[in-house]
Amino acid sequence: MQSKKRLPKTLASCLVATSLLLSSCGYRVQSSGVATVDVPFLKKDTDGRLTTSLISILNRSGVFTYASHDARYLLEGELTTLCTEVIGYQYRRKDGSTKILHRIVDNEGRRNVSAVVSLIDLETGEKIFGPTKISASSDFDYVDPDNFFDLTFDPPNGPEDSVLNFSLGQLDSQEGASLASIDPAFQNLAAKITQALSAAIAAKQ
């Protein structure tokens, strides 16, 4: 059987020494096609939820990998929009009956988020993306807290019960649904930012 060829000891030692030298000088030996990026907390992202979503999606992109030290790129950004708007309505029903009143109440909202981001090449100092504003949103439904039929139902065997206990998170009060919409909106925004940065990296290569 033919024996496997091995690198001469002197050549192997040189390769190891070269790798150590490059590391000590601050150069990064990266896997092909994957760029290291440092992501400090975005300004006004007070609880870090957007920054966390962004790091997670960047790592899953196949283009970037997060590195807090010796990264090739630096992502800078600021959360600029975090608000909601009403986008859906329904007719209110008369309390104690199923009669529809000629009065509408809101029952659907949209969480709007946006951030201004830039991507900087730390080796050249070049800003290869931004500053650019990127926006995203997440829609949510909620129940009318002042309407009996929106809040309760009659099970086949048993007393009336709250629909919120059985909705699996699909129904909530306006306040609860609005708060629950923040993370999905941040994830959508992080995905759009990652897509834009990936395009910038591809254009640079």
Q: Is position 1 within any domain?
A: no
Q: Is residue 97 part of a domain?
A: yes
Indicate whether 4 belongs to any domain. no
Evaluate whether residue 56 is within a structural domain. Answer: yes
pLDDT at 8: 44
| Model confidence pLDDT, tens digit, residues 87-140 | 998 777 666 556 666 678 778 899 999 999 999 999 999 999 999 999 999 998
Give me the mean pLDDT over the 32-61 stretch. Answer: 94
pLDDT single digits (tens) 143-156: 765 554 555 545 55
Identify the pLDDT of residue 57.
98
148: helix, strand or coil: helix
| Structural domain of 72 | 33-204
Q: Does 40 map to a domain?
A: yes
Query: How many angstroms separate the CA atoms of 177 and 106, rounded?
Result: 13
CATH number for the domain that contains residue 99: 3.30.160.150
Mean pLDDT of 73-88: 96
Concatenating the DSSP letter of every residue in 158-181 gives: SS-EEGGGTSTTSS--HHHHHHHT
Mean pLDDT computed over 70-86: 97
Q: Would you say the pTM of this structure is higher than 0.85? A: no
In a domain, 61, yes or no: yes
Our count of domains for the chain comes to 1
Q: Is residue 100 part of a domain?
A: yes
